Amino acid sequence: MSQVVLVVDDDPVQRRLVEAMVQRFGYEVLTADSGDAALTLLTGGNPIDAVVLDLVMPDLDGLGVLARLRDAGIGTPVIVQTAHGGIDNVVSAMRAGAADFVVKPVGPERLQVSLRNALAAKALAGELQRIKRKQEGTLTIDDVISRSPAMQSVLRAVEKAAASVIPVLIEGESGVGKELIARAIHGSGGRRAKPFIAVNCGALPETLVESILFGHEKGAFTGATEKHTGKFIEADGGTLFLDEVGELPLPAQVKLLRALQEGEVEPVGGRKSVKVDVRIVSATNRDLIADVKASRFREDLFYRLHVFPVNVPPLRRRPEDVPELTRHFLTRIAAEEGKRVRAITGEALALLSRYRWPGNVRQLENTVFRAVVLADGEEIGVSEFPQIAAQIDDDNATPVQPALEPVTALIDPWVAREASLAPAERHSLAGMGPTLRLTDTRGEVRPLEDIESEVIRFALSHYRGQMSEVARRLKIGRSTLYRKLEELELDGKEAPIKVNGAIGAP
């Protein structure tokens, strides 16, 4: 869908000239022969992305149009056209909110640059609103882009959590959007007018952790030349976001637990505790339960933080989000880079949706960035994603039996980790999806055939026996599927074996 430019001029020849130029740039053109006609179009809800406006017209002139637009709160960028020597008018027009001006007769290059800048500024204006909300701590759940059912249900839970002060632990791989969600929780709750303070627990020097979190008195230790308010006190009344909370050293964990239990902190070298009222949202991309098992993370603290766990699924589990996120990043980055890219082919979107995205949304954002920089035209295609295309080809060319693919796809770190847990622990991770046991009761690796059979049985039950869907998801042909059903003596109606709500070996 191309962007729409409205050309306003009472002189038919001038109007046709500009119209032809703008069409050649690849925009759609609407025309108006008077200020009044232009206003009717602009206020009538037509999707108009930019206006090229003649200043001198009978009745309602260009300045009049600008004034009416401003009164109506319409921010569509306007480029004014002025005759030679009309400098006073230009000044008035710029004051009245015009985005740029060009002198008649305008050359195509000048007009194209001007339009491109105006449109980029418009796309950025939307993004600026988001950035502004981010700075003010008023990003909300609506700012988290998602189409997939998986993410939608996560966001519904997040919305409920946001309305209370329940401690939230956000779990998920790197780059899935944990921090964005933490900010959205803050911005959607009753504390939105209060500070959102983020601390990256993994980046704190070990010797300063306590002082940074809880503050210190002047002279508390060598180098403490000034009194320092800790992050807890800074966040008073608002939200403290403990990012990478699993990285906290044990002594700091003890103090954190105490602060959470008592609702007060004790600055290093201080004599008395200070009452604080903070909401805690924490995040981790580590396996905190494994850390608890290995005594790297205090169990009591884990349960304090883990009151409301939120699992953000990796991007490969929600491919429906890929097109929406891609378009969003494309608009923003193209504007930032001043490129005229504004569309992506369906083929390229399909390619991106098939990729596994080990670096999740952050990787997608960087990939779109590269593509925008590479792009020459207005549309990005498959050729702008050489790495992704190559990796997908590699995946497909791997010389393994096709049936192995779905199995390896299931064995990602979450699943493998869960498979190694005792049933009770596995229970606490419920909601992360079904699991596949890789070892038998004696701890030996299970035969490939068993695993394959289990995956197929699960897929059959998961897609309620819809064979084409099962084949599509397993990325095997229907005939291969039928052959395997025969080999494995499955009849297509098998139900999976359930162990503690998870799919597992008997």
Ligand X SMILES: Nc1ncnc2c1ncn2[C@@H]1O[C@H](COP(=O)(O)OP(=O)(O)OP(=O)(O)O)[C@@H](O)[C@H]1O
Secondary structure (DSSP) of 115-128: HHHHHHHHHHHHHH
- Among 19, 179, 236, 412, the residue binding ligand X under the rule CB under 6 A is 179
CA atoms within 13 A on the CB side of 268: 27
CB 174 to ligand X: min, Å: 4
* 159 touching ligand X, by CB under 6 A: no
- Among 176, 185, 333, 451, the residue binding ligand X under the rule CB under 6 A is 176
Cβ atoms of 251 and 212 closer than 8 Å: no
CB 285 to Mg ion: min, Å: 8
Look at the chain and count its residues.
Answer: 506
CB 384 to ligand X: min, Å: 20
Q: Which residue is nearest to Mg ion (CB)?
A: 179
In whole angstroms, give the CA distance from residue 460 to residue 488. Answer: 13
Measured from the CB atom, is 48 or 315 closer to ligand X?
A: 315
CB 315 to Mg ion: min, Å: 15
In whole angstroms, give the CA distance from residue 306 to residue 291. Answer: 14
Return the HEC string of 276-317.
Answer: CCCEEEEEECCCHHHHHHCCCCCHHHHHHHCCEEEECCCHHH
Q: Which does 177 bind (CB under 5 to 8 A by kind): ligand X, Mg ion, none?
A: ligand X
The mark string for 315-334 relative to ligand X (x by CB under 6 A, - otherwise) is ----------x---------
In whole angstroms, give the CA distance from residue 435 to residue 415. Answer: 6
Scanning 170-178, 264-272, 346-354, 465-473 for contacts with ligand X by CB under 6 A, the matching segment is 170-178
Scanning 216-224, 231-239, 337-345, 359-367 for contacts with ligand X by CB under 6 A, the matching segment is 359-367
In whole angstroms, give the CA distance from residue 239 to residue 185. Answer: 9
- The continuous run of DSSP H or E covering 23 comes out as helix 12-24
CB 245 to ligand X: min, Å: 12
* 337 touching Mg ion, by CB under 5 A: no
Q: Which residues between 179 and 238 bind Mg ion (CB under 5 A)?
A: 179
Applying CB under 6 A, the site for ligand X has a residue count of 16
* 139 touching ligand X, by CB under 6 A: no
- Among 69, 361, 415, 456, the residue binding ligand X under the rule CB under 6 A is 361
* 144 touching ligand X, by CB under 6 A: yes
Which amino acid belongs to residue 368? Answer: V
Residues near 367 by Cβ (< 8 Å), separated by ≥ 6? 352, 385, 387, 388
Q: Which residues pair with residue 310 across a beta bridge?
A: 170
CB 172 to Mg ion: min, Å: 9
* 146 touching ligand X, by CB under 6 A: yes
Within 10 angstroms of residue 376's Cβ, the number of other Cβ atoms is 10
Q: Which does 11 bind (CB under 5 to 8 A by kind): ligand X, Mg ion, none?
A: none
- Among 19, 291, 365, 425, the residue binding ligand X under the rule CB under 6 A is 365
Q: Which two tokens stand for residue 438?
A: 């890789």
Cβ atoms of 350 and 388 closer than 8 Å: no
Q: Which does 180 bind (CB under 5 to 8 A by kind): Mg ion, ligand X, none?
A: ligand X
CB 186 to ligand X: min, Å: 13
* 36 touching ligand X, by CB under 6 A: no
Q: Which does 35 bind (CB under 5 to 8 A by kind): ligand X, Mg ion, none?
A: none
* 175 touching ligand X, by CB under 6 A: yes
Q: Which does 415 bind (CB under 5 to 8 A by kind): Mg ion, ligand X, none?
A: none
In whole angstroms, give the CA distance from residue 147 to residue 392. Answer: 23
Return the HEC string of 435-482.
Answer: CCCCECCCCCECCHHHHHHHHHHHHHHHCCCCHHHHHHHHCCCHHHHH
Enumerate binding residues for ligand X (CB under 6 A): 144-146, 172, 174-180, 285, 325, 361-362, 365
Enumerate binding residues for Mg ion (CB under 5 A): 179
